Chains A and B, each alone.
Chain A
Amino acid sequence: MKKVFTRPECLKRTPFHYCPGCGHSIIHRLVAELIDEMGLRGKAICVPPAGCAVLAYNYFDIDVCESAHGRGCAIATGFKRALPDRFVFTYQGDGDMAAIGTAETIHAANRGEVITSIFVNNAVYGMTGGQMAPTTMLGQKTTTSPFGRRSKVEGFPLRITNLIAQLDGAAYVTRTSVATPAKVMATKKAIKKAFEIQLQGLGYTLVEILSPCPTNWKMTPVESFKYLEERMEKEYPLGVFKDITKD
């Protein structure tokens, strides 16, 4: 009998702690599948964030190093500079990547560190209970923007991926979504491309993935996927913002 669907080898047999409908589980699986398919387990080092994905080491059966909040790209830089032939990626949320870790992210990208960042944007601080993130959209209610985000008070949502695309050290910068099965497959392709570009040593690669947070959005999973596609993808247009293998 031919096996057509199975758990990726580098995904441990541990149930995800993520909420029902959360995008992290999907994205973890995509990353794990690619590590298997590309034969990267023996050279992979993952730096997860402080955030919902802090427990990534419970799921990925690869070497994993914890990071303080926002410091992922600096730690990954340390790994990659020390071991240039290894495959190093960060897995970060929006608060980690675009608020407290903005400096680490932008400078790692600008130096052209040969690492990949998987950036999961759900427009809220998930783990701490749904506070406003740098990526929270105007009008979006969170526990610290109870009246909806107002540009004059809380400022504007930060599209850090577009910023990073301007940097000379960035090799591949893209934004995808997990709103539909087709978009999930497109996300997998984008991550694969980022991983390949890292393996070619061409520079910094970033895949921003728009992902639902039904718990903190106060929605059912079905509603949250609809909101993701109809609202979030408008605020954060999908697309490839930089690809030095094509430009």
Chain B
Amino acid sequence: MDKPEKTMMKGTDAIGEAAIQAGCRCYFGYPITPQNEIPEYMSRRMDEVGGVFLQGESEIASINMVLGAAAAGVRAMTSSSSPGISLKQEGLSFLASLELPAVIVNINRGGPGLGNIAPSQGDYYQATRGGGHGDYRMPVYAPASVQELYDITMKSFDIADLYRTPVMILGDGMMGQIVEPIVMHARPEVDLPPKDYILDGAEGRPSRIVKSLILDVRLMEEHNWKLKRKYDLMRNELPMHEEFMTEDAKMVVVAYGTAARIAKGAVNRVRSNGLKVGLIRPITLWPFPDEAIAGITKRAKVILVFEMSTGQMIDDVRLATQGKVECEFYGRPGGVVAAPQEIARIIERHWLQKEL
């Protein structure tokens, strides 16, 4: 991998390979469609690099195996899809409180319940609002191409170590299954703090404890504020987004992941008809790119949020824009993947109605 060259790669494989390149040496997971190619890829690759691949007896067991490996100081990950991610929420809450690094991939499928195996964005709330119990947050990335899946998976391990936090990559069935050309690369050098918290046997040092039970409410309060200070730091340092044709836009579409790719096609279409429409694509869903979204209010008159759900991210858009601009919503929940033409029609309708 000295010379960057393009290779065709499937989304799930890009996640797996990036994790391997990032030094992930423990993968624990349980089969669920549409993400089975990740454990399948990892079962082969971990063997080649001398890492650990283990198919757990459940998602619950798998996330707790991740917890053990992370506490042992090894880069660890798991992946699943919506119903399986629900089962992992207990473990996510513990990882957050124990301040252990881990990477969790959710290839979001149609829900609620068993739902279906089609691409969906119904897990936005679960991903960005904690999901598990207690007052915690967790960085959530929403890549929109195979290259970005690769880059962000690689980056996630550093973010997890840097802030000692679980990190979620929120994809969907489309992101997992598409095959695109990508450039693979080695992990860039990152300054990371020493892992002085790990449990590997107290040889020549005082024994250590990894725990989240804090019975003294004042100390538990302080632990919560300590986490909050860390989350504030993340809010300052982590937000990422992409802007597309927003400079002169009177209307801006906000969409992430697969929905953003569809929206981009729609923006290109309406642009060819002379409509000044742009796109903002949040890459981090938590922390949300508030400033970038707020920036729209200075230029555009209307925001159209497009999600493959009944409307979840729109709450964050409204919070970021503070009512300074009209927010419209269009959603296709349940696993339906809209075509760009459909979104273009919605954009045109709003354009005419608002007399832009």
Contact = CB atoms under 8 A, between A and B. Distances in A.
Interface of A: 10, 41-45, 47, 54-55, 57, 60-68, 71, 74-83, 86-87, 103-104, 107
Interface string B137-167: 0000000000000000000000000000000
Interface residues of B, number: 40
A63 B54 contact: no
A63 B60 contact: no
B346 to A, nearest CB: 44
Contacts of A10: 207
Nearest to A10: B207
A79 B61 contact: no
Interface string B24-41: 011010000000000000
A78 B67 contact: yes
B68 A103 contact: no
Contact of B201 (A60, A63, A74): A63
Given A65-B71, A66-B212, A82-B26, A71 B64 contact: yes
Interface in B33-64: 52, 54, 56-58, 60-62, 64
Given A43-B201, A86-B200, A78 B72 contact: yes
A103 B202 contact: no
Given A82-B52, A104-B64, 10 more contacts: A43-B201, A43-B203, A55-B213, A61-B202, A63-B209, A65-B67, A66-B94, A71-B64, A79-B199, A82-B25
27 contacts: A41-B203, A42-B204, A54-B213, A62-B202, A63-B209, A64-B199, A65-B67, A65-B210, A71-B64, A71-B67, A74-B62, A75-B64, A77-B54, A77-B65, A78-B28, A78-B67, A78-B68, A78-B71, A80-B68, A81-B54, A82-B25, A82-B69, A83-B72, A103-B57, A103-B61, A107-B56, A107-B61
A68 B91 contact: yes
Interface of B: 25-26, 28, 52, 54, 56-58, 60-62, 64-74, 76, 90-91, 94, 98, 199-204, 207-213
Given A57-B209, A68-B94, A104-B61, A78 B69 contact: yes
B58 A82 contact: no
B54 A45 contact: no
Contact of B72 (A44, A74, A79, A103): A79
Contacts of B91: 68, 71
A158 to B, nearest CB: 18
Given A63-B200, A81-B65, A82-B69, A107 B210 contact: no
Contacts of B71: 65, 75, 78-79
A67 B94 CA distance: 9
A77 B74 CA distance: 13
